[in-house]
Structures are given as C-alpha cells and as structure tokens.
Amino acid sequence: MSNQLIYVMGPSGVGKDSLLNWLRGQVRRLPVPPALHFARRTITRPQDNSNEDHEAVTLDAFTQLQQAGAFALHWEAHGLHYGVRTEEILGRNGWVMVNGSRAYVDRARVLFEGITVLHVSAPEAVVRARLTERQRETSTEVEARIQRSQSAGVALVPGDLHIVNAGTLEATARELCAMLQAHTGLRLIDSD
C-alpha cells in the first residue's frame, strides 16, 4: 500500500484544496473511474467554514478517536487537529491521495515507507492574494502565514512530485493530471 499513497502538501494559499476538488470532479466524470481514492479527513473545524468535504468533530471527539487508534495519520496545524482514519488508507485497492501537512511529512514517510509526496507551491504574490481573498485572517495573520511558509521548506526526495499552481485552476489541474498519470499509470483525463 505504501507505494500507492500520494501525500499532498504545501503552504496555505497554494490551492491544494482547489486542485484536489477539480481532480475529484474530473475522476467522477470519467466513463471508467480509475483506482484512485481521495482520503476524507477528520478536522476540528466546522463543515461550513471550508471548501473541503471533511468530517467535522469537536476537539473532545477528535481526542477520543485518536486515543482509540482510529487515525492512520494525525497532526495539528494552525490551531486545528487533522486526522485520516485508518480505513481511508489501508485496505484500499489502487492509489490513495491524502491532503497532508508539511510539518507531518517526515512522520508520514516513517509510517508509510515509499509514499510519494506531491508538493504544491505558488509564487508569494499569488499566495498573498488567495489568502486575502478567502477572508479568514487579518492582513497581519496573512503575512505571518507567508513568513512561516518561506521558513518551512521541505526537502523532496527522488520519486516525489512538485507542481507550481500559478496559472488558471484548469491549466494547473490538467498539468497535475498529466503528472499523476505518468506516475501512477492511471487514466485521469479522456483524450479530447
């Protein structure tokens, strides 16, 4: 299983959720869906405050799940707790994509030897504009996020993937599909 796990990471504002949502929609439209599963996360964030379809739980519920061993992966970032339930990863046929955290990638590599890390980045000006547009933080908080993202570089290893999300969503998403098709052998886009 480990060599079929794609761990997606990148700083806030680079468009990970948008790219993954585009890819999910693309996969659903294919006449023959590929063996690709998008792991659903459990987060201590209300459902209505996100563009991600996640399992929203309280901190107490999250802690109970964690203590019960429900998560294959779990981390804390930006005051929230994130987890990926074991059944979302293990026992799946084909490839699994997980929206992860840069701070947790080293632990994920230990737990799932041979995983592929997909690093999503974007130019600083693009990230600043996206963070400001979503209106979740003050301008001071936006600048703090940008400073953290610059100081939190993650070394990619051979076999990892990297994409720069600076153009239109569709153009970058199609580039990502081509990259993933080459890496996984899965057909993600119909020939036009």
Q: What is the DSSP string of 11-58?
A: -TTS-HHHHHHHHHHHHHHSSS--SEEEPPEEESS-GGG-SS--EE--
Residue 187 lies in a domain: no
Residue 79 lies in a domain: yes
Residue 186 lies in a domain: no
Assigned token pair, 180? 């993933």
pLDDT at 108: 93
Contact 110, 117 (CB under 8 A): no
Q: How many domains does the chain have?
A: 1
Helix (H, G, I), strand (E, B) or coil at 161: strand
Residue 157 lies in a domain: yes
- pLDDT over 70 at 191, yes or no: no
**Under 8 Å CB-to-CB from 41, ≥6 apart: which residues?**
52, 54, 55, 82, 83, 84, 98, 99
Q: What is the pTM of this model?
A: 0.86
Residue 189 lies in a domain: no
Residue 90 lies in a domain: yes
* Gap between the Cα atoms of 82 and 41, Å rounded: 7
**Under 8 Å CB-to-CB from 163, ≥6 apart: which residues?**
19, 118, 119, 120, 121, 172, 175, 176, 179
**Under 8 Å CB-to-CB from 70, ≥6 apart: which residues?**
83, 85, 86
pLDDT at 2: 54
CATH number at residue 119: 3.40.50.300
Give the structural domain span for 127.
Answer: 2-181
pLDDT band at 79 (very low <50, low <70, confident <90, very high): confident
Contact 26, 188 (CB under 8 A): yes
* Gap between the Cα atoms of 139 and 91, Å rounded: 43
The tens digit of pLDDT for each residue in 20-49 reads 999 999 998 988 888 999 999 999 987 776
pLDDT at 43: 94
